[in-house]
Structure 1
Amino acid sequence: MSLTPPPTTKSTAASTGILRVCGPDANGIVAAFAQLLYGHGCGIIDSENHADHEAILFFERIHFDYSQMKTDRHTLQNGIEEVCQRFSMQAPQLDWGDKRKKLCVMVSKYDHCLWELLLRHRAGELNCEIALILSNHPDLKEIADSFGIPFHVFKVTKDTKAEVEAQELALLKEHEIDLVVLARYMQIITDQFCEAYPVINIHHSFLPAFIGGKPYHRAHARGVKLIGATAHYATADLDEGPIIEQDIARISHRDEVNDLIRKGRLLEKSTLVTAVKAHIEDRIIVYNNKCVVFDG
């Protein structure tokens, strides 16, 4: 007896979104959002939450499938906002997942972080579009050209800083940039820049002990036993913004200055990519100059 295969059904490509919420800790928040999504025909793919007992705050990230949604986006968004109001939560952060984030990378002369971002992006590890690269020097243009990414040079002086930054911001707006990444960009950006776009910066973790030039040389002279890298959101307080990711490497008496620099650059590359990946995957919630970074 032959078996007739069941009729095939047309598959529906999954449409997935990410909801992030933050507010006063209270009973029933998880259930309220789960019931809301279920009622609209959405399925929860994964969910993670965290309670800061000292701050009495609750954080949740929900990755959900809305391909079989019974209503529309506007109706679901209204429902989410109603739940947030009921629990006195902040405005929800909702990404429908149908548009890749567009990045602008800003560099100077150091190329190691730029290479890492471009290669990881080419390997498919960063689900975004690197739309353009800005620099205050022409040195890294060949790298940008080899990846087919527009490269713009803006010479910056103390007298022209405001004018040049206005031109840069206009270019970012034209390209509809979502995130700016300072990949060892050796210029201070203004408060207005940080207010216009989320900006991720990378630097060594010697601060505040070794501020200024040649930190690895001075660290070697002091005989440090640990070096590190810190990726954080840039704010008006320069290197004091919310920390996203950090990493360290041990140093011994056998390590020379070049060894410290080499190990430091490895840390900077991996730490920056980890932070950028967390941002573009909507895994970060910022509060009280800190970050909740959900698992990837």
Structure 2
Amino acid sequence: MVVRAAQVVLLVVFLTTAAAARELVATDFSCSGVYEGGFCWLEDVRLYATATWRFSGVPQRAYLTLRLEGMAEDPCEDCVGRDVLLRIFYGPGNGSWDRMDLLLRHRALGCNPGWYTVSGEIEFLWLPETAASELVVIVQRVILCDPHVGFNLHSLVLEVPEEGPPEPSPTPPPPPLEGCVVPSVDGCFVDFQGSGCPVPELPPTDIPRQELPETNGPGEAVLIAPGDYVGQLGGALGRSGIDHHDWYRVRTGRGEALVVWIAADPGLQFDVHFLDICGNEQFRYQGGQELLQCIAPCTGAGEACDWYIRIVRRSGQGSYYLSLYPAIPEGSP
């Protein structure tokens, strides 16, 4: 999670549920290790040996789940069944690689003096720089004293989402408006804390809420007052494909402040962006399911502070719940 600027954030992360998916098996397997017992073993002391799988027909711009299962042999310990740390390189095979690490765990119980099964899985975003339906995955050991590990063609599978209509990229926020002047540099969007930011009791998601309209940019942003709202992301949106984001506009008068609370269904992952009236991003909250954010009182030269709230879908589908509460900090004008 990356947070820009110092902000007071209270978050609770929920697990997401996977959408319908299918498994993809590699079309080719190669290995520079030692073949024995139907497996290619990565066991060299220099950690150079690699196992390579090639997949074709992989959808682009999709979250994929990599599942890897192999056999392990521990030359240093008997009846322990230690885990194995692996480094994974993946890319279209043209020399451009991304990297991630995966720990294969020993799932069985009890003593295994011989070979034992280790497995693990990891989700990643497949977003090649150029159009490519082929995905190459290379695996190697990382730690010399880890157990040796063996793989074959069927050790690695990819879980890919069911193919549907292509999802267009969400419309990026417009560049800051030329000639637009924020009422005061420090009069809006300055976070406040302590007794100056009374935190209300967090509302349940099932309270009566007003339905928010679908919006597709700052020009469609609806001005919303303090209250409890519900909106949706990830669903079909006419001919334009998938509903990726919504825009709303919030205003406070001089001396007024707000507490913003956002949550979502477990199946929806999203980011929240706060922008000033000129389109400059002031705060971004990434990769969570619940946010409590204090917005400072309007103390600028103008009579009101305006800003945008942009809610952007990362993955999944479902409802999000937005509540705005007035807050009058101590010492406000």
Fold similarity call, TM over 0.5: no
Q: Which has the higher helix share?
A: 1
Higher RCO (C-alpha under 8 Å, 6+ residues apart): 2
Larger Rg: 2
Q: TM-score, normalised by structure 2?
A: 0.28
Structure with higher strand content: 2
TM-score, normalization: structure 1?
0.30
